[in-house]
Amino acid sequence: MDGGRAAQPEINTPMHIRETIVVENLARPKGLEQYLLHNRRGFKKERVLLLFHKNWLLLNDAQPNEEDLVKNGDVIKILSPYTSHEKIFAENIPLEIIAESPHWIVINKPSGMACHGGLGTYYGTLLNALAYYYQSTVQTTELENGLVHRLDKHTSGLIVVAKTIEGRELLIPQFREKVALRKYTALVHGIVSADEGTVNIPIGRNPDNHLDIRAYPDGSHGKEAITHYTVLSRNTDTSLLECVLETGRTNQIRIHLQFTGHPIVGDKRYPPLNYEVTEPRLMLHAHLLRFNGENGNPLQFEAAMPFTV
């Protein structure tokens, strides 16, 4: 494209691609503005002028000028600012799909991928990836409501997402009534002396700082939180644990293990005292997930630990 500039949508405004148009069926090149006005439905003069003015338009991944010509095969992208009510938009992100039925899908989520948008997270989420994977076959509202349980952004491993109302009706009671089973592998600092144990300490948000989630051993705040653990192996200065959740509070395993004096290796939010975290990731992985399928039979899925001990 002649005259194109590097793509620079509105500064500091999170953007996403609202629509992608592949130019076709043109007998000869045509001005971009005229193409949108006369060859595409839904493009009024005021909207086209706004797209150019706000830099919400890309032609072959560069910002166009009004006079630029388009030809068959050119790709036009219509951008839009991400808004607070827009929690999901399709992104082409690879997914490791473990299993799928008409009503649910099991994913092995990588560390660093948030399950959903919020608090400044717009891109790279699990729901965005699923929105792209399903395109128009599953509505984004169904996906958003389909998070019947969650994994922290920096925790990797197995998660099931309901795709339909029937999927939610199948899965939600199982997690609420503790029929579903989740097991995690955690590499922690220090040598855990007991072969197994249970941490039963409430977890809640600091009343003075909503973002501060912590343990409240005196029970003054928070909700019941119970984590069971078993030592799988002990190394020179670390221990490998298998953890089972009886409840599902935000950051529960991380908070409970820090409280016991054995924080998870790589945990920048709940680290050991006077310790600089340099590990590349949080060493916490959801390696086993079990729930009952549509016919009532138990289904069990496993994902190998992605880090070495």
Residues 6+ apart with CB under 8 A from 139: none
**DSSP for 126-182, written as a single string:** HHHHHHHHHTTSS-HHHHHHT-SS---TT-EEEEEEE-SHHHHHHHHHHHHTT-SEE
Instruction: Report the distance separating Cα 109 and Cα 124, nearest Å.
Output: 12
- Determine phi and psi for 162, rounding to 5 degrees: -75, 140
Strands 104-109 and 196-200 turn out to be unpaired
Residues 6+ apart with CB under 8 A from 180: 149, 171, 174, 289, 290, 291
Look at residue 252 and give its three-state secondary structure: helix
- Cite the beta strand spans of 52-155 per DSSP E: 57-59, 69-70, 75-81, 97-100, 104-109
Look at residue 210 and give its three-state secondary structure: strand
First-to-final CA distance of the chain:
52
Catalytic machinery residues:
152
